[in-house]
Chains A and B, each alone.
Chain A
Amino acid sequence: MNISVKSGQPNRRQFLTAAGGLTLGLFLPLGNRAAAQSGAAAVLATDAAPVTPFEPNAFIRIALDDTVTVLIKHIEFGQGTYTGLTTLVAEELDADWLQMRATSAPADAKIYANTLFGMQGTGGSTAMANSYMQMRKAGAAARAMLVSAAAESWNVPAGEIAIANGVVSHEQSGKQSSFGALADAASKVATPIDVPLKEAKDFVFIGTDQPKLDSLAKTDGSAEFAIDIYRDNMLTVAVQHPPKFGATLVNFDDTKTLEVEGVAFVHQLPTGVAVYAANTYAAFKGRDALDVNWDFSKAETRSTIQMNEEWAAAAKKGGTVAEQSGDLDAAMAGAAKTLSADYTFPFLAHAPMEPIDGVIEIREAETGREAEVWMGSQLQTVDHATIAGTLEIPQDRVALNTTLTGGSFGRRAQPGSPMAAELAAIAAAPDKAGSYKMLWSRSDDIRGGYYRPLTAHHLEAGLDADGKIVAWRNDIANQSFLRGSAFEGMIKDGIDSTAIEGAVKMPYKWPAHRVSWAEMKTPVTGLWWRSVGHTHTAFATETFLDEALLAGGKDVVEGRLELIADSPRDAWVLKRLADMISWAGPQQVNGRARGIALHESFNTYVAMAAEVSDDSGQPKVHKIWCAVDCGVAVNPNVIRAQIEGGIGYGLGAALFNAITLGEGGEVQQSNFDDYRMLRINEMPEIEVSIIPSTEPPTGIGEPGTPPIAPAIANAWRALTGTNTRQLPFVTPSV
């Protein structure tokens, strides 16, 4: 179910029923009758245009009621892409913001690919970066078509026609029109190619705060997420997964399950045992009644304590060299002073608010079986293929609707599409028409794997007699979640860059350095977690750098600036930050101290300062300052929101979170009681400064997360003298 959300007063139903008029380059997959039957797809089906040679423009619909709907190829899970991409179209179209709408584009890699991925998907904080020119061009093309249509019907030169605030006008004749009145005529105009785009100085929407399109629907309960999809006679399905990673099913007894009122049937799936029931309560209750035998012979049975030791030993030993300069061994041997540190970082669950879920409907059409799916699909192309493959039907008989989604933070972008695969397996097992909702409980999610990998870092630094850092060594040990997946090709020269990003290509220049990676193996499934490798590399490098600078008698801001002379954007944010807080050292007063961190990720530069105090041996974070350079700030309001959210997400994990395996390998956490979430009383005050820029926009969903933990740790050292070598700060109560 696609969601159409509104910026102004006209409601969504009015819009839906008024569908008609201009459709630019809209492509409806032929023969996709399943899609045509769903509510939102019905909107798409109206005025379906043939395939156009200029497919990237399949993004805009203008209706007779003047609404402009932008088809968003990315999943909206809080990062603001519905608003951001719509802003780009509105800009080039010279629309009025109140007439703008957004809806989810169907899954179709041919048209809706992420131009940086070559397939449809969202990740790496690329939604804005890859869409910036594409959506502007789509808007500009639509504008040109409206101008042509007006010129023709008014019989005036196109060059004399202006558009502003959604009104097309011809000053000399006094004629004017709304978009809707020109929609039919415009739809008959040939799609123009290479329409010039606005210059930055003429931007009306880009660079200013536009109200988000989805705020109202997300405030009155009407926003529809995958969990909110209900189909006739739908069964809710709870799956019993293995209690240890890598365990396999031996057999099960469902006698008691089938006695639970509301349970329909039970099937074995590749991922566990599925209980199908008339409602959620019966599904969970029925699952609790299952008696399942597992084979643990291939399971992970090491505890986190054991794994920490093994990972740390591997890091210390060093792995495959990923990056180096100079003669590190000689530099280290010649150093006047050396220091070293070992860090460990735990597994982390993403724990998005909406648990793992999805709805699938199998229909038996005259021409064969077809399926329609509603889910928070983050990698539509992979999910789409996985579902079709699991169901053993052609992909064009599967309609995949990307719903609004209650968070992801990486959880829903999975190389092997296990979430889509389980959903499809649920539908495939009964082998008949029907609709099914897959619903993981919170415990299923917390214990369900796909964690930020457990990671160990070993760092060494050598200083010369003047306190200058002359040697830098960083050895990292963790698993590769790309290994064995469809994304294995991303592993180059034996290095999985997602495992170590942030520790390489650093802005700091030293005479000699070496970074290595030791690949660790475990059946525990890993995954990218908001900012991926940067989650640990930023912490290890930025806290150790502070230590090294302090050991050399340097100020941590001045010392960094000396090392980043060749990285102007890093320097710019750091200087801005120093100005924001009138940096004069940690300023340890009134039981508080400040620390800073600098870290670029996803081509966005972030400098952050934290002010902390000591709350019974744990850091309490009072205020965060952040300077960010993400290129053109398309919607500063959304950027500030993402920085605030990125800080909160990183802060909660740094303070509280660790997924640990107990003796024997079972996950020891299960829900928000033992995997604690940051709460409002723990949220610091936040001040954000966005660097003005004309550079192309870069990511903003993730870059706010990496610097928060090291900024706190650096403040904590200033306050207490203690170096933080292990996260979280607060030891989990297990």
Chain B
Amino acid sequence: MATVTTPTARPTGAELEEALDDGITRVRVNGVDRELAIDPDTPLLWALRDELRLTGTKYGCGIAQCGACTVMMDGQTIRSCVTPISAADGGIVTTIEAIDSPEAKAVQEAWVAIDVPQCGYCQSGQVMSATALLTENRKPTDIDIDNAMAGNVCRCATYVRIRQAIHDAAKKLEA
């Protein structure tokens, strides 16, 4: 079972090396240092949900085909369903609950403004990918959007609006 601690100083150097060997996975999640004393093969997705109760990140397929489990780790989108927590040890993870960059805000506002979500289940992942896209590319073309978003499945097929909302968010960021 997980032991969740309050924020602590992050280990560095030799201390870090030692820390990595003690069977406890240390991850900074949404700015809070967490210690996970669970099987290191546990997917980050299930650690976030079952142990940390960060339920915005969703399970859709478990095989990195749908993107519902997308989170940011060390500045890059990852599929948390195929990322064992051992691979996240020492990492910095941000989930849908804590994104607050100008890009994230622009994306979320654009999403609400044109009512992108239908069932909503995939949308955390969509928002994470769209935010990452705009963080790297402030003026994405339709092809850039396809390339960034094709890993996020929406069974309600809200794709027309996802595309529109990303363009809208880009315009807002430009202004």
Kindly identify, within residues 48 to 102 of chain B, every residue whose CB is under 8 Å from any CB belonging to chain A.
Answer: 49-51, 53, 55-63, 65-66, 68, 95-97
Interface of B is mostly: loop
CB of B120 within 8 A of CB of A280, answer: no
Taking the complex as formed, is B123 at the interface, i.e. its CB lies under 8 A from any CB of chain A? yes
Report the stretch among A22-30, A87-95, A209-217 that lies at the interface: A209-217
CB of B115 within 8 A of CB of A645, answer: no
What's the Cα separation between A418 and B80 when bound, in Å? 30
CB of A671 within 8 A of CB of B118, answer: no
CB of B51 within 8 A of CB of A677, answer: no
CB of A281 within 8 A of CB of B65, answer: no
CB of B1 within 8 A of CB of A649, answer: no
Taking the complex as formed, is B171 at the interface, i.e. its CB lies under 8 A from any CB of chain A? no
CB of A406 within 8 A of CB of B58, answer: yes
Q: In the complex, which residue of chain A has the Cβ closest to the Cβ of B63?
A: A671
* Chain A residues with CB under 8 A of B159: 648, 678-680, 683
Closest CB in chain B relative to A637 CB, distance in Å: 6
Taking the complex as formed, is A404 at the interface, i.e. its CB lies under 8 A from any CB of chain B? yes
CB of B146 within 8 A of CB of A680, answer: yes
* Chain A residues with CB under 8 A of B146: 680-681
Taking the complex as formed, is B138 at the interface, i.e. its CB lies under 8 A from any CB of chain A? no
What's the Cα separation between A283 and B119 when bound, in Å? 27
CB of B50 within 8 A of CB of A649, answer: no
What's the Cα separation between A223 and B97 when bound, in Å? 11
Taking the complex as formed, is B39 at the interface, i.e. its CB lies under 8 A from any CB of chain A? yes
Taking the complex as formed, is A652 at the interface, i.e. its CB lies under 8 A from any CB of chain B? yes
CB of A680 within 8 A of CB of B152, answer: yes
What's the Cα separation between A215 and B115 when bound, in Å? 6
What 1/0 flags go to A228-269 for Cβ under 8 Å of B? 101000001000000000000000000000000110000000
CB of B60 within 8 A of CB of A353, answer: yes
Closest CB in chain B relative to A700 CB, distance in Å: 12
* Chain B residues with CB under 8 A of A535: none
What 1/0 flags go to B102-141 for Cβ under 8 Å of A? 0000001001100111111111100100000000000000
CB of B154 within 8 A of CB of A353, answer: yes
CB of A353 within 8 A of CB of B62, answer: no
Kindly identify, within residues 669 to 699 of chain A, every residue whose CB is under 8 Å from any CB belonging to chain B.
Answer: 671-673, 677-681, 683, 685-686
CB of A681 within 8 A of CB of B116, answer: no
CB of A641 within 8 A of CB of B161, answer: yes
Closest CB in chain B relative to A667 CB, distance in Å: 16
Report the stretch among A77-85, A289-297, A308-316, A514-522 that lies at the interface: A77-85
CB of B160 within 8 A of CB of A352, answer: no
* Chain B residues with CB under 8 A of A224: 55
Closest CB in chain A relative to B126 CB, distance in Å: 9
CB of B58 within 8 A of CB of A78, answer: no
CB of A280 within 8 A of CB of B55, answer: no
Interface size class of A (residues with CB under 8 A): 35 or more
* Chain B residues with CB under 8 A of A351: 155
Taking the complex as formed, is A617 at the interface, i.e. its CB lies under 8 A from any CB of chain B? no
What's the Cα separation between A227 and B120 when bound, in Å? 13
Taking the complex as formed, is A666 at the interface, i.e. its CB lies under 8 A from any CB of chain B? no
Taking the complex as formed, is A171 at the interface, i.e. its CB lies under 8 A from any CB of chain B? no
CB of A219 within 8 A of CB of B116, answer: yes
**Contacts A281-B42, A409-B155, A683-B157 given; does A78 touch B162 at CB 8 Å:** no
CB of B123 within 8 A of CB of A218, answer: yes
What's the Cα separation between A645 and B162 when bound, in Å? 12
CB of B96 within 8 A of CB of A221, answer: yes
What's the Cα separation between A516 and B43 when bound, in Å? 52
Taking the complex as formed, is A644 at the interface, i.e. its CB lies under 8 A from any CB of chain B? yes
Taking the complex as formed, is B4 at the interface, i.e. its CB lies under 8 A from any CB of chain A? no
CB of A278 within 8 A of CB of B1, answer: yes
Taking the complex as formed, is A354 at the interface, i.e. its CB lies under 8 A from any CB of chain B? yes
CB of A641 within 8 A of CB of B118, answer: yes
* Chain B residues with CB under 8 A of A439: 59
Q: In the complex, which residue of chain B has the Cβ closest to the Cβ of A234?
A: B50
Across the interface, A353 reaches (CB within 8 A) one of B63, B108, B122, B151, namely B122
* Chain B residues with CB under 8 A of A354: 58, 60, 119, 121
Taking the complex as formed, is B153 at the interface, i.e. its CB lies under 8 A from any CB of chain A? yes
CB of B63 within 8 A of CB of A442, answer: yes
Kindly identify, within residues 477 to 492 of chain A, every residue whose CB is under 8 Å from any CB belonging to chain B.
Answer: none
Taking the complex as formed, is B27 at the interface, i.e. its CB lies under 8 A from any CB of chain A? no
CB of A220 within 8 A of CB of B157, answer: no
What's the Cα separation between A282 and B39 when bound, in Å? 9
Taking the complex as formed, is B145 at the interface, i.e. its CB lies under 8 A from any CB of chain A? yes
Q: In the complex, which residue of chain B has the Cβ closest to the Cβ of A446?
A: B61
Closest CB in chain B relative to A690 CB, distance in Å: 16
CB of A280 within 8 A of CB of B57, answer: no
* Chain A residues with CB under 8 A of B53: 230
Across the interface, B63 reaches (CB within 8 A) one of A77, A220, A673, namely A673
* Chain A residues with CB under 8 A of B156: 78, 353, 407, 645, 648-649
What's the Cα separation between A214 and B123 when bound, in Å? 12
What 1/0 flags go to A328-372 for Cβ under 8 Å of B? 000000000000000000000001111100000000000000000
Across the interface, B50 reaches (CB within 8 A) one of A279, A652, A686, namely A279
CB of B62 within 8 A of CB of A441, answer: yes
* Chain A residues with CB under 8 A of B60: 353-355, 442, 672
Kindly identify, within residues 638 to 679 of chain A, every residue whose CB is under 8 Å from any CB belonging to chain B.
Answer: 638, 641, 644-645, 647-649, 651-652, 671-673, 677-679
Closest CB in chain A relative to B112 CB, distance in Å: 5
CB of B111 within 8 A of CB of A215, answer: yes
CB of B152 within 8 A of CB of A671, answer: no
Q: In the complex, which residue of chain B has the Cβ closest to the Cβ of A210?
A: B115
Closest CB in chain A relative to B114 CB, distance in Å: 8
CB of A677 within 8 A of CB of B121, answer: no
Taking the complex as formed, is A222 at the interface, i.e. its CB lies under 8 A from any CB of chain B? yes
* Chain B residues with CB under 8 A of A683: 157, 159-160, 163
Most chain A beta-carbon neighbours within 10 Å: one of B50, B53, B96, B122: B50
* Chain B residues with CB under 8 A of A672: 60-61, 63, 65-66, 153
Across the interface, A78 reaches (CB within 8 A) one of B1, B96, B120, B152, namely B120
Taking the complex as formed, is B149 at the interface, i.e. its CB lies under 8 A from any CB of chain A? yes
**Contacts A281-B43, A351-B155, A681-B146 given; does A405 touch B119 at CB 8 Å:** yes
Most chain B beta-carbon neighbours within 10 Å: one of A214, A216, A280: A280
Q: In the complex, which residue of chain B has the Cβ closest to the Cβ of A409?
A: B155
* Chain A residues with CB under 8 A of B154: 353, 648, 680
Q: Can you list 17 residue pairs at the A/B interface with Cβ under 8 Å?
A: A211-B112, A215-B117, A221-B96, A222-B56, A223-B120, A224-B55, A279-B46, A279-B51, A353-B153, A644-B161, A651-B157, A671-B61, A680-B150, A680-B162, A680-B163, A683-B157, A683-B163
12 additional contacts, CB 8 Å, given A407-B121, A683-B163?
A79-B118, A215-B116, A216-B112, A279-B51, A280-B59, A352-B121, A405-B119, A441-B62, A638-B115, A672-B66, A680-B162, A683-B157
Closest 5 CB pairs of A and B: A648-B157, A221-B56, A406-B121, A218-B120, A78-B119
